[in-house]
Structure 1
Amino acid sequence: MKGHLMVLQQLARRTLTTTARRQVENKVPQKQKLFQADNGVPVHLKGGAGDAVLYRATMGLTVLGTLFVLYELGKASLPQKKE
């Protein structure tokens, strides 16, 4: 029983270590250069084509949502005809 406990203790120590098995490249300095560059591009579009697609999709959904809300408000403000 004590042997099993020792193995479990050793296994727990190995899995909870703070060292990484493989090193991950730090990309923060490259991203800082990209986003801090004064090239006239708005910061929300500096990430490339993916950012542009997300921006346009967000603006499209916002416009559609606003139009839908205005339609529903107009419909709710007019009295319904009773037949």
Structure 2
Amino acid sequence: MYRHIHALQQVARRTISSSVRRQLDNKVQNKQKLFQEDNGIPVHLKGGVSDALLYRTTMMLTVVGAGYVVYELVKAAFPRNKT
């Protein structure tokens, strides 16, 4: 039984160590340069179109949510007459 476990360990070690590793580009330095440069753009919009879209969506949902809260408060403050 020990022989089977030892053989399994060797096979596992061989496949892990002989596999080709994927080379990933380090994008941190490029992102740091982009976000630290002083170009007058707010940091929450420096990411490009996707950041602008997320920002506008968040602001729209905030305004709609605040409006709905005010509507519900007014509706609760002036209940309908039951006639």
TM-score, normalization by structure 2: 0.83
Structure 1 residue 12: Cα displacement: 6.3
Q: Distance in 1 between matches of 2:73 and 2:8?
A: 65
Runs of 4+ residues over 4 Å off in structure 1: 12-15
Q: Distance in 1 between matches of 2:7 and 2:68?
A: 63
Unpaired runs of 5+ residues, structure 2, are none
Deviations 1:48-73 (CA, angstroms, capped at 9, x unpaired): 00000000000000000000000001
Q: 1:68 to 1:21 in 2, by over 3 A?
A: same
Unpaired runs of 5+ residues, structure 1, are none
How many corresponding residue pairs? Answer: 80
CA RMSD of aligned residues (A): 2.1
Deviations 1:27-81 (CA, angstroms, capped at 9, x unpaired): 1110000000100000000000000000000000000000000000110111321
Q: Partner residue of 1:5?
A: 5
Structure 1 residue 24: Cα displacement: 1.3
**Residues 1-83 of structure 1 mapped to structure 2, 5 A cutoff:** 1-10=1-10, 11=12, 15=16, 21-83=21-83
